[in-house]
Amino acid sequence: MKSREVVERLRNARLLTVQDSEVIRGDHMGIYQRPGDYAYRDYPQKLEEYLGIDIQVVNSGELEYRYVNDKKAEEMASLWINDAQEMRNGVKKEDVIRAAKLYFSLSRLIREYEADAVTMASFGLAGAWGEPKTNAMPPLSWMELSKENIPCCCQGLVDCLVTQLIGTYVTDGWAGFTGDILNDWRDWNSFLKNGSPGNVLIIGHCGAPITPHGNDRIPYAITDHVINSSSWAKLFGPDETATAITVEWPVDETVTVLKFDVYKQRVLIFAGTALDGCSLYRGFRDVTCRNKMVIRIDDPEIYTIFSGDLTGFREEWGNHIVVFYGDLRKRIAQIADMIGFEVTCC
């Protein structure tokens, strides 16, 4: 899609955020910050003013996934299981069926609200800041929606959702991966199998698309969600496991790392190369987030941003970022110019 067409399409776009908080946020400034602490309360107005995008808030009570037809849910669960390379870490078919019910419920809301993209405050609805409202996590829903070219991500991260939407329009259907920046979450060198891979950025989330090139279907395994090890995850009983997926990313390809900061009218963008994390690190799939992408950053000046204390970066940009396959820098910079956004790190 041409850049001008992307800008025009944004003006008719509608986002959906499933959450019980009244505050719509671009991203959180700290990993465990409560949604109500987000400073920019007029974010929805800025989103419409700067990009023309409408956003709708859906209360968790509208999900009604418990009432989804059991047969439909079991059929979808069987499809996911048959297509997966394996099921790992104690996941049972009953766990996948619960995830399938959530998918059908989210799909109904997308159709009902005529939405182009969706996010869900998954951790909050799982009981992070109060009583749990769901008993399923959405990674399998995100996987299935990626087949339908519908951008989606967890945690009510609207800046990332906007970024995914723009990237999907630019690429005519390639899916972006939203994740946390994990560089300082672990001493990754202690997991290395051999020598250092160089200047790398590690990004992770428990949900991911399987369509990074649009019509492809990359391999995936169904596994447990990291929330199962959380002390505050009240939604799952002793015999229930929250589900996620682990994908096998294409390697040795150029990727573009980007994030639109709607409130401050700017976009962060730079390029790198996707590496094979499992060949570099021991136990890579099961450390923190179940999907992780390792990106070698060739520009040493850009790498310095992620090589030390990331407190300042998180205060500026939040802890999440989006990755697309391909070199989108020129196209994204062109769109940024059209909408009056400042470009950083291009």
* Helix 3-10 × helix 158-170 angle, to 10°: 140
pLDDT per residue of the chain (346 residues) written in tens, 0 to 9: 899 999 999 999 999 999 988 888 777 544 455 655 666 778 999 999 999 999 999 999 998 877 889 999 999 999 999 999 999 999 999 999 999 999 999 999 999 999 999 999 888 887 766 777 888 899 999 999 999 999 999 989 999 999 999 999 999 999 999 999 999 999 999 999 988 888 999 999 999 999 999 999 999 999 999 888 876 665 667 788 999 999 999 999 999 999 999 999 999 999 999 999 999 999 999 999 999 999 999 899 999 999 988 988 988 899 999 999 999 999 999 999 999 999 998 6
Helix (H, G, I), strand (E, B) or coil at 133: coil
pLDDT of residue 303: 94
State the DSSP H helix or E strand holding residue 271, giving kind and residue range, or none if neither.
strand 266-275
pLDDT of residue 30: 46
Token duo for residue 82: 């048959």
pLDDT of residue 91: 96
Which of these, 17, 27, 20, lies nearest to 157 by C-alpha position? 27
pLDDT of residue 49: 97
List CB contacts of 327: < 8 A, sequence separation 6 or more: 254, 256, 271
